[in-house]
Structure 1
Amino acid sequence: MNGGSPSAEGPLLLGVRHHGPGSARAVRAALEAARPRAVLIEGPPEADALIPLAAEEEMRPPVALLAHAVDEPGRSAFWPLAEFSPEWVALRWALEHRVPARFVDLPATHTLAWDKEEPAPAPGAEAEPPAGEDPEPGPGSGLGSGDAVRVDPLAVLAEAAGYDDPERWWEDVVEHRGVGGEDALAPFTALEEAMTALREEYGTGGHRRDLVREAYMRLQVRSNVREFGLEVAVVCGAWHVPALRRTTAVAADRALLKGLPKVKTDMTWVPWTHRRLSRAGGYGAGIDSPGWYAHLFAAPDRPVERWLTKVAGLLREEDRIVSSAHVIEAVRLADTLAALRGRPLPGLSETTDAVRAVMCEGSDVPLSLVRDRLVVGDVLGEVPASAPAVPLQRDLARLQKRLRLKPEPGEREVELDLRKDTDAGRSRLLHRLRLLGVDWGEPTASRGSTGTFRETWRLSWEPELAVRVAEAGVWGTTVIAAATAKAEADAVAARALAEVTGLAERCLLAELPDALPVVMRALTDRAALDADVGHLAQALPALVRSLRYGDVRGTDTRALAKVAAGLAERVFVGLPPACTALDTDAAEEMRRHLDAVDVAVGLLAEGAVAAAGEIRERWRAVLRVLSGRDTVAGVVRGRAVRLLLDDGELEPGEAARFMGLALSPGTAPADAAAWIEGFVGGGAGGGMLLVHDERLLGLVDTWLTGVPAEAFTGVLPLLRRTFSAYEPGVRRALGELVRRGPDAPGSAAAVGAGYAGFAPDLDSGRADAVVPVVRLLLGLDDPGRGDTDASDGRGLDESAGLGESVGLDESDGRDVDDMVGVAR
């Protein structure tokens, strides 16, 4: 070779640190100097056919080689490569110079089969931890718990050099070292000598598989040397270099490989992220600052100045005042800190300290943003469309492109309006993927509207989802076919009624009409056999929500409505007996069932369900039975009274009578406290009820002040839980009312209503004064709308279209009319 080698007796061995920008620069310089005829790279040889894709324009690192078992796609492993990875640099150099490049590590067919004999790794686990990285075992490392104590080569070398931080040592001796000196191979010679000494001291260092991997690599190196001569360059973890340099018998190496298990394996390229590189485990171990490493590799000169300029730009985007003077001072401080600490150049710790002191005014809050966005980063790689993929992955990519829903790293929220075709398609896709276990999106509460035509999703694409997609490919070749098959299988395998009703809801959300008949048969069978009222009460809400969602999406839900009505009737019959003789935990659970059933009945009554009025009346009768039966747990009785009061079935005076009975001296304090918890607890507006009704608050106050001292300690935790759920403003209002007392001026008793400012009857004059403000808030008096009197045919009647213009559903529109009516 032109540039010589660390050893003239063998091929050029370039020992590197995976994902090290200094190693990457050194590899590039060494290859330019040596000009080998072939480049061998540590990696699975099944990926040799994928190497040409690395030269395509659409291929943008970070990317990863994904290997998965054909018959068990969830068993997989990744080999990530960033732009600053030495392996990627070697790969690109070989492609640019038309030099053969080959992977020479242990084949993935053995690695995945070997893992199968041990605890299964998490989907998306990286491959074997390489030398020069944090050697803590990660998922998919294939190292059993019986291994010897592992050795971190960098930590040992750093300690020998007097460093307490391996990262700082590596930066000082490699990352801050210039490339282009007299001998481009000198750093590899020095690193090989250091690793040889460590291998003599520690052997495999606890990495049992290294013996087998290194035996395979030696065989591959020999084979390529026979083909190309000694002009072969091998890029591998520095830890392996001494083993590859050692002369061993071919028979001995083959003996180590004899009898290795195999599994049929597929391999492809998948996008990767900087954030995933920062996680522990496999090739991602120890890379705490991938964004910083990418900057060091890409910066042509003055890396510190360029980095701090980038930080200043980020902080300015977040509306922080950062000027060029801040950048200048931060550079000076970083240089000063490096000199004081005896470092050749400022590293990440020095620049971080400078940013904290100069640009963040000593605060770690904006500094955390810098670490998240720049030090780690949200870079997501891309792979060309020609990369091999399972049919399901191709269909998903087609849908993503058609719906303009591009996978992106980091979390982001997406608001969907289901009345629009594109947004409805996005909703269906995300729901179908959730059915398949591909949790790209997670539904969250909408901030702008409670209408059923709106959905809010929190999206976050992680590389591991590629494994989930491959795993879901066993269900079908398209997203809709796979989701349908998976839903049908889940319906048959479901054990609980609530699981089937939840599945029916998800099928409607995902719009899977072919799966609904199977799910409905399973639902009918389970509902007929299940006699547990708790299970029935759990299942009813999801079933009723399905009716509502089906109405929004125009789905025929008559079969669901029939099952829901029958289920509700069975709940009504079985609920009173089920609410007797309950302990505290069971009573609290039953209270939650009561709330859920009440909401479900309300939705049934609003929907087009036969005999909706009868269902509502039957439910009210059940609540009356529960509210007056002494054998029912106090928290359930209290909640039943509250639900009747909220529904307008109880007058406030009657509710006060129920409370008076529950809080009478003959009632045990614990039972009375439970009744209060049921009536005004659970964060369901009970605090405002007490604020506005002096009689209820007075009853609670009288009872509480009369609780015996020996019983007060027992009821205190329950009362604290009840009142701590109130909003701070509500607690302040209650405290003020209690402080004033019933006879104080301005108190509830003095004004004759809930609290100061409320009169017994409506003050029409004061109400009329609010009307102009409400009209202004609703935009009814906007000058651009012209006159709103009856003469030009416009006025309040025109507000019928207001709900649609501001993104409200029908119920929201009724709320607008109610607001105007109250103001009048």
Structure 2
Amino acid sequence: MITFIGVRHHSPACARLVRETIEELKPAYVLVEGPVEMNARIGELLLGHELPIAVFSSYKDGERHHASWAPFCDYSPEWTALTAGRAAGAQLRFIDLPAWHPAFSERRNRYADAEQRYAEVVDRLCREFSVDNVDTLWDHLFEVPDPDGLAERLAAYFDLLRGEAEAGEDDVAREAYMASWIRKVRREAGDRPIVVVTGGFHRPALVRLAALPGDDEPVVHALPADAAGGSYLVPYSFRRLDSFDGYQSGMPSPAYYQHVFEAGVDTAASRLTEAVVTRLRDRKQRLSTADLIAATTSGQALALVRGHRHRSRTDVLDGLVSALLDEALDVPLPWSARGTPAPGTHPVVVEMVAALSGDRVGRLHPETPAPPLVHHATAELERHGLDSDGARKLDLARDRDREVSRVLHRLRILGVPGFTRQSGPTTGIDPEPVEQWTIARDDLRLPALIEAGGYGATIDEAAGALLAERVTDVGGDVEKLAGVLFDAALAGIPELSGRVLDAVGRAVGATPEMGPLGRVLDVVLALWRHDRLLGTAGSTPLGVVIGASVERILWLAEGVRGGAGADLPRIGALASVRDALVHAGKALDLDRDAALGVAARLALSAEAPPDLRGAGFGFGWSLGSSDAGDPVRAIRGAFAPSTAGDWLAGLFALAREEVLQAGGVLDVLDEAVDVMGDGDFLIALPALRQAFEFFPPRERDTIAQHLLGRRGIVGHSRALLRLAAEPELVAEGAELDGRVAELLTREGLITT
């Protein structure tokens, strides 16, 4: 005799039904939807952990990397099937495909529900019962009502949901595999009872498939020869189980449903109210006894109107909102839909959702096996004195500190919590070789290490594999690829560089914008030039990327036409090319003459925007080109009120030092500004201010002192640099004064 129980994952009502059925039937076998590769390790699963926990599975080959979780909490029907089955003396079997099977390639969670496939039926049921969503519908039909007849109601519900809909290829494969296990066990059990616990969506198909004749044996799949992977237990948390936090399976509000499972719906409602009130009071919200009474009364009234024998989760929450909030809400209440709360959700409502989620974190039994990465990371932390809390200051110029830094960066890349980098170089350009780190214990460190174990057995191997995956994920985004490259350098993973640089090289050739390429070139050039700390100085692959970036930026620059305003990223890209020619031109055989030719054409082009014309002139001037021309004449020719500031921004970005050192340049700039009328000056002022921001404070002080000297004024230049009001406001005020004086003169009220 086979008893099929279709369940909703993480449902207290289903968990109780599974437990009571097994206790009553005392079956010879209990078959559970779960990863078949864990059958030999069910004893490990039942060691005596503090739930929630999960089976974490990873898979990696040359084509894909996949990770998934099968979580369990006290009220998971699959968990009660295992614990009640063991207590009844039954043989326990997981019967689903292994977690690494291609049928799970699109799933991060084994127990993700198939609700999108029967959304039409759910919507119709929600309208019929006047509820907002599937969670409220589920409570109304199964968690709140009397448990008598629950098995029949569940069977009818899942039969209706499945209907005549065809399952996808992945579910067809899974159901065929699970059915083969059921037939196998049926042959072994004879007349002894069998209990099968699976997701309700699969139950109708399994009832039909299991009845088919056949003596086929389920294949026990092995990992492909070219693949690596495995399954390990990890601590889980209520937060990760909560659909309000993005979890796509089972029930929301895990702390609430834990109370439902332990003490029933009525007691859970009281505990929920208490938890919300306590949390709000802890956050300095004023809640009186009268508020609490009003919330309870309102929730009870809603339960009565909605036909509930006890207050459901939404009855309690709606009652609390009614009693505690007397203002209109801008967004729908989170429990009226699935998923994370919408932006703009009222803070009190956010705290209610958090109170229902709870902060429980699971804990593994001390004898639980761990992947090699956990042991390697633990040993590395102990070896480098990183196994205690506190601040760490590292000087990357010292071999010992650089080794410690690489360990910390590998853990950071792997997403292991508790290791926070407070300061340090953010690109290869940073001259400061000192890092500041904070180390703090974190309950999520162990699960993060176990999950990272899917990438490799050591932290350097795992971090390298994760960075290689990031290369694939970011595609042609050159800035993100440059970030991967810098992370690889910080973590001391040179073997990754070839693959990363190949991806960067391909992306460089397809990048349509100068700005991002300029930022990549800055990072790569700095790493190539002087980053002996990170072991990248003089790297041949980096040199290839520098050459490709220089060529692409110059090609893009000649194609820019028109536009208003100074585009600082594209100006910066030309500055990066200039720096590459200065510092790496000879070593990398960069074509200096071709670059100067592009710059000269930009400087003279009537179609190029003013900022690029100025940058083109500054490019040649800064490199000492004899074709650059006379800067004084160039400045005078470019000084139109609407474009002068943009042209100067390009010039200053590329030739700031030359402007300060060349005789007569500051004088001609002063003259050009001085002859402007008030209106023209007001037009030019914003762009001029932006252009002069390329000069650091010390150099701006030098310019101001020069201007005072030209006018024979004795005084400190700081008075010019620190006005009491914004320059635009001063200019607007001067213009207004002029118009008022003109009007008064015209009307004969004053004489000039």
Band of TM-score, shorter chain: 0.5 to 0.7
Distance in structure 1 (CA, Å) of the matches to 2:529 and 2:280: 46
Map of 1:221 onto structure 2 = 182
Distance in structure 2 (CA, Å) of the matches to 1:602 and 1:418: 32
Q: 1:203 aligns with which of 164, 183, 205?
A: 164
Q: Structure 1 residues 168 and 653 mapped into 2: Cα distance closer, same or farther (>3 Å)?
A: farther
Compute the displacement of 1:680 (Å). Answer: 0.7
Query: 2:130 aligned with 1:190, yes or no?
Result: no
Compute the displacement of 1:581 (Å). Answer: 8.1
8 Å CA contact retained: 1:73, 1:467 = no
Map of 1:172 onto structure 2 = 140
Query: 2:98 aligned with 1:108, yes or no?
Result: yes
What are the superposed Cα offsets for residues 317-345 of structure 1, whole Å, 9 maximum, x if unpaired?
A: 33333355543332222222323343333
Letter of the structure 2 residue corresponding to residue 11 of structure 1: I
Compute the displacement of 1:41 (Å). Answer: 0.9
Map of 2:249 onto structure 1 = 285
Distance in structure 2 (CA, Å) of the matches to 1:730 and 1:371: 51
What are the superposed Cα offsets for residues 83-103 of structure 1, whole Å, 9 maximum, x if unpaired?
A: 321111222223455532211
8 Å CA contact retained: 2:685, 2:728 = no
Query: 2:89 aligned with 1:125, yes or no?
Result: no
Matches within 5 A, 1:684-695: none
Q: Structure 1 residues 649 and 684 mapped into 2: Cα distance closer, same or farther (>3 Å)?
A: closer
Map of 2:733 onto structure 1 = 740
Query: 2:220 aligned with 1:230, yes or no?
Result: no
Q: Structure 1 residues 49 and 622 mapped into 2: Cα distance closer, same or farther (>3 Å)?
A: same
8 Å CA contact retained: 2:6, 2:203 = yes
Compute the displacement of 1:31 (Å). Answer: 2.8
Unaligned runs of 5+ in 1: 1-9, 137-148, 407-413, 605-617, 698-728, 746-824
Letter of the structure 2 residue corresponding to residue 223 of structure 1: K
Map of 1:680 onto structure 2 = 690
Compute the displacement of 1:456 (Å). Answer: 7.2
Letter of the structure 2 residue corresponding to residue 237 of structure 1: G
Map of 1:748 onto structure 2 = none
8 Å CA contact retained: 2:26, 2:88 = no
Map of 1:431 onto structure 2 = 409
8 Å CA contact retained: 2:518, 2:569 = no
Query: 2:504 aligned with 1:542, yes or no?
Result: no
8 Å CA contact retained: 2:178, 2:206 = yes
Q: Say what the alpha-carbon RMSD is for the aligned residues.
A: 6.4
8 Å CA contact retained: 2:45, 2:233 = no
- TM-score, with normalisation over the residues of structure 1? 0.59
Matches within 5 A, 1:479-498: 479-481=459-461, 483=463
Calculate percent identity across the aligned residue pairs.
Answer: 21
Letter of the structure 2 residue corresponding to residue 680 of structure 1: Q
Q: Structure 1 residues 439 and 210 mapped into 2: Cα distance closer, same or farther (>3 Å)?
A: same
Q: Structure 1 residues 574 and 288 mapped into 2: Cα distance closer, same or farther (>3 Å)?
A: closer
Matches within 5 A, 1:137-176: 150=118, 154-155=122-123, 157-159=125-127, 161=129, 163=131, 165-176=133-144
Distance in structure 2 (CA, Å) of the matches to 1:241 and 1:598: 68
Distance in structure 1 (CA, Å) of the matches to 2:276 and 2:516: 55
Map of 1:339 onto structure 2 = 304
Q: Structure 1 residues 217 and 472 mapped into 2: Cα distance closer, same or farther (>3 Å)?
A: closer
8 Å CA contact retained: 2:514, 2:570 = no
What are the superposed Cα offsets for residues 22-51 of structure 1, whole Å, 9 maximum, x if unpaired?
A: 212332233333333332111232221232
Aligned residues: 636
Q: Secondary structure at the match of 1:167?
A: helix
Distance in structure 2 (CA, Å) of the matches to 1:574 and 1:168: 57
What are the superposed Cα offsets for residues 523-561 of structure 1, whole Å, 9 maximum, x if unpaired?
A: xx99xx9xx99999645632576599969xxx4879569
Map of 1:308 onto structure 2 = 273
Distance in structure 1 (CA, Å) of the matches to 2:141 and 2:469: 58
Letter of the structure 2 residue corresponding to residue 64 of structure 1: V
Map of 1:348 onto structure 2 = 313
Distance in structure 2 (CA, Å) of the matches to 1:599 and 1:319: 56
Q: Structure 1 residues 309 and 557 mapped into 2: Cα distance closer, same or farther (>3 Å)?
A: same
8 Å CA contact retained: 1:545, 1:600 = no
Q: Secondary structure at the match of 1:429?
A: helix
8 Å CA contact retained: 1:52, 1:95 = no
Compute the displacement of 1:275 (Å). Answer: 4.2
8 Å CA contact retained: 1:63, 1:271 = yes
Structure 1, 678-687 or 302-311: larger mean CA deviation: 678-687
Matches within 5 A, 1:263-662: 263=224, 266-278=230-242, 284-285=248-249, 287-299=251-263, 302-359=267-324, 362=327, 364-370=345-351, 373-377=354-358, 379-384=360-365, 387=368, 390-396=371-377, 398-399=379-380, 417-418=393-394, 427-432=405-410, 453-455=434-436, 469-470=452-453, 472-473=455-456, 477-481=457-461, 483=463, 505-511=486-492, 538=519, 541-542=522-523, 555=533, 559=537, 582-583=560-561, 588-593=568-573, 622=622, 629=634, 635=646, 637-641=648-652, 649=660, 655=666, 657-658=668-669, 661=672
Matches within 5 A, 1:740-759: 740-741=733-734
Q: Secondary structure at the match of 2:302?
A: helix
Distance in structure 2 (CA, Å) of the matches to 1:521 and 1:220: 48
Structure 1, 480-489 or 571-580: larger mean CA deviation: 571-580
Compute the displacement of 1:253 (Å). Answer: 8.7
Letter of the structure 1 residue corresponding to residue 194 of structure 2: V
Q: Structure 1 residues 674 and 128 mapped into 2: Cα distance closer, same or farther (>3 Å)?
A: farther
Q: Structure 1 residues 41 and 172 mapped into 2: Cα distance closer, same or farther (>3 Å)?
A: same
Distance in structure 1 (CA, Å) of the matches to 2:9 and 2:483: 46
8 Å CA contact retained: 1:79, 1:126 = yes
8 Å CA contact retained: 1:42, 1:235 = yes
Compute the displacement of 1:377 (Å). Answer: 5.0
Distance in structure 2 (CA, Å) of the matches to 1:159 and 1:743: 66
What are the superposed Cα offsets for residues 691-744 of structure 1, whole Å, 9 maximum, x if unpaired?
A: 9999999xxxxxxxxxxxxxxxxxxxxxxxxxxxxxxx9997345423432796
Q: Structure 1 residues 113 and 658 mapped into 2: Cα distance closer, same or farther (>3 Å)?
A: same
Q: Structure 1 residues 369 and 188 mapped into 2: Cα distance closer, same or farther (>3 Å)?
A: same
Distance in structure 1 (CA, Å) of the matches to 2:320 and 2:530: 51
Distance in structure 1 (CA, Å) of the matches to 2:48 and 2:374: 21
Q: Secondary structure at the match of 2:71?
A: strand
Distance in structure 2 (CA, Å) of the matches to 1:232 and 1:575: 70
Distance in structure 1 (CA, Å) of the matches to 2:544 and 2:181: 70
Q: Secondary structure at the match of 1:63?
A: strand
Q: Structure 1 residues 732 and 283 mapped into 2: Cα distance closer, same or farther (>3 Å)?
A: same
Q: Structure 1 residues 399 and 381 mapped into 2: Cα distance closer, same or farther (>3 Å)?
A: farther
Compute the displacement of 1:263 (Å). Answer: 4.9
Compute the displacement of 1:463 (Å). Answer: 11
What are the superposed Cα offsets for residues 155-189 of structure 1, whole Å, 9 maximum, x if unpaired?
A: 5555555655332221123212355xxx6xx3113
Unaligned runs of 5+ in 2: 330-344, 585-617, 708-721, 739-752
Query: 2:35 aligned with 1:44, yes or no?
Result: yes
Letter of the structure 1 residue corresponding to residue 407 of structure 2: L
Q: Structure 1 residues 487 and 220 mapped into 2: Cα distance closer, same or farther (>3 Å)?
A: closer
